[in-house]
Protein backbone atom coordinates (compact mmCIF):
# COMPACT_ATOMS: atom_id res chain seq x y z
CA UNK A 1 0.00 0.00 0.00
CA UNK A 2 1.24 3.49 -0.86
CA UNK A 3 0.74 6.77 0.97
CA UNK A 4 -0.94 9.72 -0.81
CA UNK A 5 2.50 11.36 -1.23
CA UNK A 6 3.97 8.21 -2.79
CA UNK A 7 0.97 7.97 -5.13
CA UNK A 8 1.41 11.58 -6.29
CA UNK A 9 5.16 11.01 -6.79
CA UNK A 10 4.51 7.80 -8.75
CA UNK A 11 2.04 9.51 -11.13
CA UNK A 12 4.39 12.49 -11.54
CA UNK A 13 7.21 10.12 -12.55
CA UNK A 14 5.03 8.42 -15.18
CA UNK A 15 3.48 11.63 -16.51
CA UNK A 16 6.06 14.42 -16.20
CA UNK A 17 3.98 16.72 -18.45
CA UNK A 18 0.86 16.56 -16.26
CA UNK A 19 -0.89 19.79 -15.28
CA UNK A 20 -1.79 18.76 -11.72
CA UNK A 21 -2.26 15.70 -9.57
CA UNK A 22 -3.71 15.27 -6.08
CA UNK A 23 -4.96 12.66 -3.68
CA UNK A 24 -8.10 14.12 -2.13
CA UNK A 25 -10.06 13.09 0.96
CA UNK A 26 -13.64 12.49 -0.25
CA UNK A 27 -15.27 13.59 3.01
CA UNK A 28 -13.60 16.99 3.31
CA UNK A 29 -12.54 17.75 -0.26
CA UNK A 30 -9.04 18.62 0.99
CA UNK A 31 -5.92 17.36 -0.79
CA UNK A 32 -3.77 14.95 1.24
CA UNK A 33 -0.90 15.32 -1.23
CA UNK A 34 -0.65 17.30 -4.44
CA UNK A 35 1.59 18.64 -7.16
CA UNK A 36 0.97 21.16 -9.96
CA UNK A 37 3.17 22.10 -12.90
CA UNK A 38 1.15 25.28 -13.57
CA UNK A 39 2.12 28.15 -11.27
CA UNK A 40 -1.39 29.58 -10.93
CA UNK A 41 -3.22 26.27 -10.56
CA UNK A 42 -5.22 26.45 -7.33
CA UNK A 43 -5.31 22.76 -6.49
CA UNK A 44 -7.25 23.20 -3.23
CA UNK A 45 -10.15 24.94 -5.00
CA UNK A 46 -10.06 22.44 -7.87
CA UNK A 47 -10.12 19.56 -5.36
CA UNK A 48 -13.12 21.09 -3.57
CA UNK A 49 -15.11 21.34 -6.82
CA UNK A 50 -14.08 17.83 -7.82
CA UNK A 51 -15.33 16.49 -4.50
CA UNK A 52 -18.74 18.04 -5.18
CA UNK A 53 -18.80 16.37 -8.60
CA UNK A 54 -17.97 12.99 -7.03
CA UNK A 55 -20.56 13.39 -4.28
CA UNK A 56 -23.35 14.48 -6.62
CA UNK A 57 -22.66 11.52 -8.91
CA UNK A 58 -22.72 9.13 -5.92
CA UNK A 59 -26.12 10.58 -4.94
CA UNK A 60 -27.42 10.10 -8.50
CA UNK A 61 -26.33 6.43 -8.44
CA UNK A 62 -28.11 5.98 -5.11
CA UNK A 63 -31.26 7.71 -6.43
CA UNK A 64 -31.51 5.19 -9.26
CA UNK A 65 -30.69 2.29 -6.87
CA UNK A 66 -28.21 1.08 -9.45
CA UNK A 67 -26.11 -1.10 -7.14
CA UNK A 68 -22.99 0.00 -9.01
CA UNK A 69 -19.74 1.45 -7.78
CA UNK A 70 -18.23 4.57 -9.25
CA UNK A 71 -15.02 3.77 -11.12
CA UNK A 72 -13.93 6.95 -12.91
CA UNK A 73 -15.18 10.40 -13.78
CA UNK A 74 -13.62 11.88 -16.91
CA UNK A 75 -14.09 15.56 -17.67
CA UNK A 76 -13.12 16.67 -21.16
CA UNK A 77 -12.36 20.37 -21.44
CA UNK A 78 -11.27 22.13 -24.64
CA UNK A 79 -7.54 21.76 -23.88
CA UNK A 80 -7.35 19.46 -20.86
CA UNK A 81 -8.60 16.17 -19.49
CA UNK A 82 -9.50 16.00 -15.80
CA UNK A 83 -9.82 12.52 -14.33
CA UNK A 84 -11.15 11.46 -10.94
CA UNK A 85 -10.57 7.91 -9.71
CA UNK A 86 -11.83 6.65 -6.38
CA UNK A 87 -9.68 4.48 -4.10
CA UNK A 88 -10.95 0.92 -3.46
CA UNK A 89 -12.55 2.06 -0.17
CA UNK A 90 -13.94 5.30 -1.67
CA UNK A 91 -12.61 7.51 1.13
CA UNK A 92 -10.06 9.14 -1.19
CA UNK A 93 -9.80 9.87 -4.87
CA UNK A 94 -6.98 10.70 -7.23
CA UNK A 95 -7.43 13.84 -9.28
CA UNK A 96 -5.32 14.17 -12.40
CA UNK A 97 -5.35 17.03 -14.91
CA UNK A 98 -3.41 16.66 -18.17
CA UNK A 99 -3.11 18.60 -21.41
CA UNK A 100 -4.96 16.65 -24.10
CA UNK A 101 -2.19 17.35 -26.62
CA UNK A 102 0.35 15.56 -24.35
CA UNK A 103 -1.66 12.66 -22.95
CA UNK A 104 -4.70 10.82 -24.22
CA UNK A 105 -7.61 9.54 -22.15
CA UNK A 106 -6.60 5.87 -22.31
CA UNK A 107 -3.04 6.57 -21.11
CA UNK A 108 -4.23 8.75 -18.25
CA UNK A 109 -6.88 6.19 -17.22
CA UNK A 110 -4.39 3.33 -17.17
CA UNK A 111 -1.95 5.25 -14.98
CA UNK A 112 -4.74 6.28 -12.59
CA UNK A 113 -6.05 2.71 -12.41
CA UNK A 114 -2.62 1.30 -11.53
CA UNK A 115 -2.02 3.88 -8.81
CA UNK A 116 -5.48 3.90 -7.22
CA UNK A 117 -5.36 0.14 -6.58
CA UNK A 118 -2.43 0.56 -4.20
CA UNK A 119 -3.57 3.81 -2.59
CA UNK A 120 -3.87 3.55 1.19
CA UNK B 1 -49.57 21.44 -19.02
CA UNK B 2 -47.39 18.37 -18.90
CA UNK B 3 -46.19 17.33 -15.43
CA UNK B 4 -43.75 14.43 -15.90
CA UNK B 5 -43.94 13.69 -12.16
CA UNK B 6 -47.62 12.72 -12.43
CA UNK B 7 -47.29 10.75 -15.63
CA UNK B 8 -46.59 7.06 -15.88
CA UNK B 9 -43.15 6.44 -17.35
CA UNK B 10 -43.34 5.38 -20.98
CA UNK B 11 -40.80 2.70 -21.77
CA UNK B 12 -38.89 2.27 -25.06
CA UNK B 13 -40.43 5.37 -26.58
CA UNK B 14 -39.09 8.87 -27.13
CA UNK B 15 -41.30 11.10 -24.97
CA UNK B 16 -41.31 14.80 -25.83
CA UNK B 17 -42.17 16.95 -22.80
CA UNK B 18 -41.63 20.40 -24.30
CA UNK B 19 -43.55 22.04 -27.08
CA UNK B 20 -42.15 24.05 -29.97
CA UNK B 21 -38.64 24.15 -31.33
CA UNK B 22 -36.96 23.00 -28.10
CA UNK B 23 -39.02 19.80 -27.97
CA UNK B 24 -38.43 19.12 -31.65
CA UNK B 25 -34.67 19.61 -31.36
CA UNK B 26 -34.51 17.37 -28.27
CA UNK B 27 -36.52 14.66 -30.04
CA UNK B 28 -34.16 14.83 -33.03
CA UNK B 29 -31.15 14.37 -30.72
CA UNK B 30 -32.68 11.32 -29.02
CA UNK B 31 -33.75 9.77 -32.33
CA UNK B 32 -30.19 10.15 -33.66
CA UNK B 33 -28.79 8.59 -30.47
CA UNK B 34 -31.18 5.64 -30.68
CA UNK B 35 -30.23 4.98 -34.28
CA UNK B 36 -26.58 4.53 -33.29
CA UNK B 37 -27.11 3.12 -29.78
CA UNK B 38 -30.33 1.07 -29.92
CA UNK B 39 -29.52 -0.70 -26.63
CA UNK B 40 -29.11 2.48 -24.59
CA UNK B 41 -30.61 2.38 -21.09
CA UNK B 42 -31.62 5.99 -20.68
CA UNK B 43 -31.22 9.26 -22.54
CA UNK B 44 -32.69 12.67 -22.08
CA UNK B 45 -32.23 16.28 -23.08
CA UNK B 46 -32.91 18.83 -20.35
CA UNK B 47 -32.81 22.59 -19.90
CA UNK B 48 -29.60 23.50 -18.03
CA UNK B 49 -31.20 26.45 -16.23
CA UNK B 50 -34.36 24.84 -14.88
CA UNK B 51 -33.46 21.16 -15.13
CA UNK B 52 -36.78 20.43 -16.85
CA UNK B 53 -36.74 17.57 -19.34
CA UNK B 54 -37.38 18.45 -22.99
CA UNK B 55 -37.44 14.87 -24.25
CA UNK B 56 -36.49 11.49 -22.83
CA UNK B 57 -36.15 7.79 -23.60
CA UNK B 58 -35.83 4.95 -21.14
CA UNK B 59 -35.44 1.22 -21.73
CA UNK B 60 -36.96 0.28 -18.37
CA UNK B 61 -38.94 1.77 -15.50
CA UNK B 62 -35.85 1.35 -13.29
CA UNK B 63 -34.16 4.18 -15.22
CA UNK B 64 -36.37 7.14 -14.50
CA UNK B 65 -35.09 10.39 -16.04
CA UNK B 66 -37.12 12.41 -13.52
CA UNK B 67 -34.90 11.07 -10.73
CA UNK B 68 -31.76 12.31 -12.44
CA UNK B 69 -32.45 15.55 -14.30
CA UNK B 70 -32.16 17.89 -11.30
CA UNK B 71 -29.01 16.15 -10.09
CA UNK B 72 -27.27 16.37 -13.47
CA UNK B 73 -28.32 20.03 -13.71
CA UNK B 74 -26.77 20.69 -10.29
CA UNK B 75 -23.66 18.79 -11.33
CA UNK B 76 -23.33 20.96 -14.44
CA UNK B 77 -23.80 24.10 -12.34
CA UNK B 78 -20.93 23.02 -10.05
CA UNK B 79 -18.75 22.42 -13.10
CA UNK B 80 -19.66 25.78 -14.66
CA UNK B 81 -18.72 27.45 -11.37
CA UNK B 82 -15.38 25.60 -11.32
CA UNK B 83 -14.67 26.82 -14.85
CA UNK B 84 -15.84 30.38 -14.17
CA UNK B 85 -13.65 30.70 -11.06
CA UNK B 86 -10.65 29.35 -12.96
CA UNK B 87 -10.37 26.29 -10.70
CA UNK B 88 -10.34 24.20 -13.89
CA UNK B 89 -8.21 26.20 -16.31
CA UNK B 90 -8.45 24.02 -19.41
CA UNK B 91 -11.17 25.79 -21.40
CA UNK B 92 -14.89 25.11 -21.81
CA UNK B 93 -16.50 21.83 -20.75
CA UNK B 94 -16.88 19.49 -23.72
CA UNK B 95 -18.36 16.47 -21.93
CA UNK B 96 -18.32 14.34 -18.78
CA UNK B 97 -18.14 10.54 -18.72
CA UNK B 98 -18.73 8.42 -15.65
CA UNK B 99 -17.68 4.80 -15.68
CA UNK B 100 -19.49 2.47 -13.28
CA UNK B 101 -18.99 -1.31 -12.86
CA UNK B 102 -20.83 -2.20 -16.06
CA UNK B 103 -22.39 1.06 -17.20
CA UNK B 104 -21.26 4.30 -18.75
CA UNK B 105 -23.03 7.62 -18.11
CA UNK B 106 -22.25 10.46 -20.44
CA UNK B 107 -23.24 14.10 -20.13
CA UNK B 108 -22.73 16.72 -22.82
CA UNK B 109 -23.73 20.40 -22.84
CA UNK B 110 -25.72 21.33 -25.95
CA UNK B 111 -26.10 24.69 -27.68
CA UNK B 112 -23.62 26.79 -25.68
CA UNK B 113 -24.71 25.09 -22.45
CA UNK B 114 -28.36 26.10 -22.70
CA UNK B 115 -29.39 22.40 -22.65
CA UNK B 116 -27.63 19.17 -21.81
CA UNK B 117 -27.88 15.62 -23.06
CA UNK B 118 -27.49 12.61 -20.73
CA UNK B 119 -26.89 9.08 -22.03
CA UNK B 120 -26.58 5.82 -20.05
CA UNK B 121 -25.45 2.58 -21.71
CA UNK B 122 -24.17 -0.82 -20.64
CA UNK B 123 -20.43 -1.20 -21.22
CA UNK B 124 -21.26 -4.53 -22.88
CA UNK B 125 -23.22 -2.64 -25.56
CA UNK B 126 -20.93 0.34 -26.26
CA UNK B 127 -17.61 1.84 -25.28
CA UNK B 128 -16.48 5.28 -24.17
CA UNK B 129 -15.11 6.30 -27.58
CA UNK B 130 -18.33 5.32 -29.39
CA UNK B 131 -20.63 7.03 -26.87
CA UNK B 132 -18.57 10.25 -26.93
CA UNK B 133 -18.58 10.38 -30.72
CA UNK B 134 -22.23 9.39 -31.21
CA UNK B 135 -23.37 11.97 -28.63
CA UNK B 136 -21.16 14.64 -30.19
CA UNK B 137 -22.65 13.97 -33.63
CA UNK B 138 -26.24 13.75 -32.37
CA UNK B 139 -26.01 17.06 -30.50
CA UNK B 140 -24.09 19.11 -33.07
The CATH number covering residue B69 comes to: 3.30.450.30
What's the pTM value of the predicted model, to 2 decimals?
Answer: 0.93
Q: Among B22, B120, B24, B13, which residue's Cα sits nearest to residue B67?
A: B120
User: A28 to chain B nearest CA, in Å?
Assistant: 16
d(CA B47, CA A24): 32
Q: For every residue of B60-81, which 3-state class applies, written as one string?
A: CCCCCHHHCHHHHHHHHHHHHH
Number of domains in chain A: 1
Q: Compute the distance between CA of residue A45 and CA of residue A43 in angstroms, rounded to an integer.
A: 6
Does residue B133 belong to the interface with chain A, where contact is any CB pair within 8 Å?
no
Count of structural domains, chain B: 1
Whether the per-residue pLDDT at B2 is higher than 60: the answer is no
pLDDT tens-digit map of A66-88: 889 999 999 999 999 999 999 98
- Three-state secondary structure call for residue A72: strand
pLDDT at residue A3 above 60? Answer: yes
Q: What is the pLDDT of residues A90-102, one digit of tens each?
A: 999 999 999 999 9
**Chain-centre distance for alpha carbon A87:** 10
Q: Count other Cβ atoms within 10 Å, centred on residue B17.
A: 22
Per the structure, the complete domain to which residue B57 belongs is given by 4-139
Are the beta carbons of A70 and B98 separated by less than 8 Å? yes
In this prediction, residue A118 carries a pLDDT of 84
CATH code at A12? 3.30.450.30
What whole-number distance in Å separates Cα of residue B30 and Cα of residue B45? 8
CB B32 within 8 A of CB B43: no
Report the gap between the CA of A25 and the closest CA in chain B (Å).
18
Task: Give the domain range for residue A14.
Answer: 4-117
Amino acid sequence: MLTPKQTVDGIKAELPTLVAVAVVETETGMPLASHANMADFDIETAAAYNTEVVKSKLKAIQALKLNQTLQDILLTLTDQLHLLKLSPTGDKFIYLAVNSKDTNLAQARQIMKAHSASLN
Amino acid sequence: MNFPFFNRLQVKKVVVAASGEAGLRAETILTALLQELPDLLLAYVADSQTGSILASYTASAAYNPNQLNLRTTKQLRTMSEALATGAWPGGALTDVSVILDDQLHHLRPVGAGQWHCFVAVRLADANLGIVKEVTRRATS
